[in-house]
Amino acid sequence: MSPRPSLRGKLAQLAAKPAFQRWAARFPLTRRHVRREGEALFDLVQGFVSSQVLRALIELRIPHRAMDGPLDPKELGPALDIPADRMAQLLQAGAALGLLRKDRNTFVITTRGAALLGVPGLEGMIRHHDVLYRDLADPVALLRGETETEMANFWPYVFGGADGDPATARLYSGLMSDTQGLVAEDTLDAVSFSGVRHLMDVGGGHGTFAKAVSVRHQAMRLTVFDLPIVVADAPQHPAITFRAGSFRDGPLPYDTGADAISLIRVLYDHSDDTVRDLLRKCHDALPAGGRLLISEPMSGGAKPDPVCDVYFAFYTMAMRTGTVRSAERISELLHDVGFGRIQRHAARRPFVTQAVEAQKSRTCGKTV
């Protein structure tokens, strides 16, 4: 005998009936709600088209051009080898997305459109999406693991290779550096480094996070640890010491004297086994009382997040390694390797990053 449906289940069954939808759309007490839900559903349906419109706007540098003054589709279209009527449609779509505003026969930039240009790394991220979209062309095949994804080749270093093409390493590190600024800003606003004398940023690339720390904590010593091919191309900075190595192939350096370690957008690139091993190595490398900071986009867990549980979850799936984890799951992994005093720090923009901090016991030695 099948269980009786709950009240929520009965409401869902009712909402699935076309006749009920037609009635609810006319009934005064429900029609506003039905309209909102309908608009939300259609936003889901058209999401891919919106993102492609966004990419066209960026590729054609429409927001940049609008910063210089109003755009006339009759003039702009021929200048970009696009028929004027299609340019008018693109600008109209940009206005519908809130990036432009229609002013009679021209289009002007909005604050949202200007803000798009002001977010470091966002343009590069949008251009890079062509790779992700190809991997998502058949999402069911991706879910089944039947897709040889391009994204896995775009980020080859997450698989642990210490060698590779320098040009690819520069592309990888450059995009990471461009998009790390907001993460660093929000992390430093959320977390106190009081009492920390020496921070080692593991997987720190070209030192974007370490540079941000150096601005706020000028007396702090800073070490960045990353793959040899990444460190070799890193621009030197007077406050930062770069160390080359692979956390997958060996221990973290013990001789730096670091009393804190940061992992900024590192864990979600890797599987649970790799993450657990890395956290154990962090525990080993820290002195008693040493602190570990983790900052990255995190799953909403019991309360699914519309950015992290959609965008970042499928992004990492296309990379074929790693996943977004909730703060609770990260805390479990930290506890498994011996960390204590685990706490979550509320970040200003959870869609950019969230932070979890832990401490090595003042009485324990290295983990085994």
- What would the pLDDT profile of 3-17 be if each residue is shown by its tens digit? 666 777 766 676 777
pLDDT tens-digit readout, 276-301: 999 999 999 999 999 999 999 999 99
User: Tokens 């009934």 appear where?
Assistant: 27
pLDDT tens figures, 9-56: 766 676 777 776 677 677 687 778 767 887 878 888 899 999 999 999
Question: What are the residue ranges spanned by the domains of the chain?
Answer: 47-118, 152-360
- Give the span between the Cα atoms of 2 and 319, in whole angstroms: 41
The architecture of the domain spanning 47-118 is Orthogonal Bundle (1.10)
Strands 354-360 and 339-345, sheet pairing: antiparallel
- Mean pLDDT calculated for residue range 114-122: 86
> Has residue 251 got a pLDDT over 90?
yes
Confidence at 364, pLDDT banded by 50, 70, 90 = low
What's the confidence (pLDDT) of residue 365?
47
Give the up-direction half-sphere exposure of residue 107: CA atoms within 13 A in the CB hemisphere.
Answer: 29
| 247 three-state secondary structure | coil
End-to-end, the C-alpha distance of the chain in Å comes to 52
Region of residue 245 (left: phi > 0; alpha: psi -120 to 50; beta: else) = left
In CATH, what is the architecture of 152-360? 3-Layer(aba) Sandwich (3.40)
What's the pTM value of the predicted model, to 2 decimals? 0.84
Q: Return d(Cα 290, Cα 196) in angstroms, integer.
A: 9
Which tens digit of pLDDT belongs to each residue from 138-166?
Answer: 999 999 999 899 888 776 565 555 455 56
